[in-house]
Amino acid sequence: MTSRNRTGAAAGGLAAALTALALLAGGCTEATGGVRGTPGAAGLRDPYFPKLGNGGYDVRHYALTLAYDPGTGRLDGTAEITARATQDLSAFNLDLAGLTVAGATVDGDPAAVNRAGNELTLRPREEIRDGAEFRTTVRYAGVPESITDADGSQEGWLRTGDGAVAVGEPAGSMTWFPGNHHPSDKATYTITLTVPAGLEGISNGVRTARRTAADGRVTTEWRAAEPMAGYLATVAIGRYETDESVERTDGTGAGPTTGTGPTTGPATPAAPSTSPSTPASPPGPTPTAAPTAVSVLTAAERSVAASSAALRGEIPEILDRQIRRFGPYPFSSAGAIVTRDGTLGYALETQTRPVFPAASFDRTTLVHELAHQWFGNSVSPATWRDLWLNEGFATYAEWLYTEEYEHVPARTHFERAFAQEANWAFPPAAPPTAENLFDPPVYQRGAMVLHKLRETVGDRTFDEILRGWPAKYRHANASTDDFTAYAESVAGRDLDELWDVWLFGDGKPDTP
């Protein structure tokens, strides 16, 4: 994400709202078969959002079927969630804001449903044993809401003049589908969108199907075959034009392996590695080999399609340059979504297909959001306190890009950042509140940490860290402690002095 401008006090603080939620399970019917199981935790005790996410299970796959009517704002959805129990479960929770739940089943049997704020509690007919895989289906509908974050910015389901854009950092995804909405629980996705005639539905991953009904309604299916945190899921509905190609991603130079050009028809789908009935393997440090070619699909609303076309066309080249610095591209698809201004106030690194308001669609921001595909999307934060690992790396990717291709040394950016007092408000690894998660120290001082690491260990060792870090934790989660330990293992020495001053220190050093 690009740094969000604060617009004053929040209309409703997200952190306070999540903290105030309480699990209300008393209304659920009692499960049969004994009392061996216990309810999963309502919340994962994240340092900033303690009620976000849920315990007792690990989601493997989401199959979301959505139909949207822009005229009324109504969303009809079915979420089929395949998960594995991590304890004996008598009940479990999903995060869901607003919307009305019509019913739910677990492994085909009706489940008791209870709501308490943003917590949806399900009590299955039979308890679920530790290690068992189970499938939950939730049917829901309503007019999705947006969320006003603690910094005053908007996220969630954002209505446009003829459609909507859904963005979810840190918690907005729960406004349009139920799930385990903490970044530590990543899963694969299949998202099927049905929209009125004349509109297109865009989402993450590879577009595997597109069909038009007799009444003109258009249905598209999108397959995100690699694990994704819920906050990185996206939907864009409107009058979009798309361009599509398949590009090499072997770092030898960008080039199409199939034809390119505008399209309103289906993609040539990549062979899906998962299906709704066959979830992917759980995230881990060494999953499947990186793809050597990716489906690149960009979408732009018609009013900004022409003005954004040239830069959208540079995405394969930028990715190829980043592959040379960061290692293999971690996903089977790539691209961008460009919306007209007025709805979204910032760009966001939604997985495989970042979202940009037209005013923010410039080369620097594009480099930043594409770098997130390695740093933040493939390697995701263990908690929201680790966000600097996303934003510090993506900001430093900007510095590296201008150093290599625009002849502006990274040291120049470092000195400029050092001189800005806003970057010294707090240590990047310890934002004081949720309101500060997207403040300058997380971005600029986070990048400064990486530059000081580079100066301390030398370019060769730093390049090894830069490529090795996303390889070691590919499609997994990692913490600040994981990073400092990894950097020291590669450098072969203790770096406490560096961390104490630049990563955790409260004061500004006398000199850069």
Q: In what order do the strands lie in the sheet with 235-238?
A: 146-148, 154-159, 164-167, 235-238, 200-203
Q: Which residue has the higher pLDDT, 285 or 291?
A: 291
Q: What is the pLDDT of residue 262?
A: 46
pLDDT at 4 over 90: no
Q: What is the pLDDT of residue 277?
A: 35
pLDDT at 254 over 60: no
Burial per residue of 484-501, b for 16 or more beta-carbon CB atoms within 10 angstroms, e otherwise: bebbbebbeeebeebbee
Burial per residue of 364-390, b for 16 or more beta-carbon CB atoms within 10 angstroms, e otherwise: ebbbbbbbbbbbbbbbbbbbbbbbbbb
Distance (Å, whole) CA 123 – CA 130:
15
| pLDDT, the chain, mean | 89
Q: What is the pLDDT of residue 13?
A: 47
pLDDT (mean) for 68-95: 98
Q: pLDDT, tens digit, for every residue of 309-354?
A: 999 999 999 999 999 999 999 999 999 999 999 999 999 999 999 9
Q: What is the pLDDT of residue 156?
A: 98
410: amino acid identity, one letter: A
pLDDT (mean) for 387-397: 98
Average the pLDDT over each of 10-19, 425-434, 460-469 and give the range with the smallest value. Answer: 10-19
pLDDT at 52 over 70: yes
Using alpha carbons only, give the angle 223, 225, 228 rounded to the nearest 5 degrees: 100
Q: Which residue has the higher pLDDT, 413 or 31?
A: 413
Q: What is the pLDDT of residue 35?
A: 64
- Number of helices (H), then strands (E), belonging to the chain: the values are 11, 24
Distance (Å, whole) CA 100 – CA 364:
41
Q: Which residue has the higher pLDDT, 17 or 473?
A: 473
| Three-class secondary structure assignment of 265-325 | CCCCCCCCCCECCECCCCCCCCCCCCCCEEEEEEEEEHHHHHHHHHHHCCHHHHHHHHHHH
Q: What is the pTM of this model?
A: 0.89
Distance (Å, whole) CA 175 – CA 167:
10
Q: pLDDT, tens digit, for every residue of 216-232?
A: 999 999 999 999 999 99
Does the CA dihedral 436-439-443-445 come out positive or negative? negative
Q: pLDDT, tens digit, for every residue of 167-207?
A: 999 999 999 999 999 999 999 999 999 999 999 999 999 99
Crossing angle (nearest 10°) for helices 388-405 and 363-371: 130
pLDDT at 284 over 90: no
pLDDT (mean) for 228-244: 98
Q: What is the pLDDT of residue 461?
A: 98
pLDDT (mean) for 380-402: 98
Q: What is the pLDDT of residue 252?
A: 56
Q: pLDDT, tens digit, for every residue of 356-373?
A: 999 999 999 999 999 999
First to last CA, the chain: 26
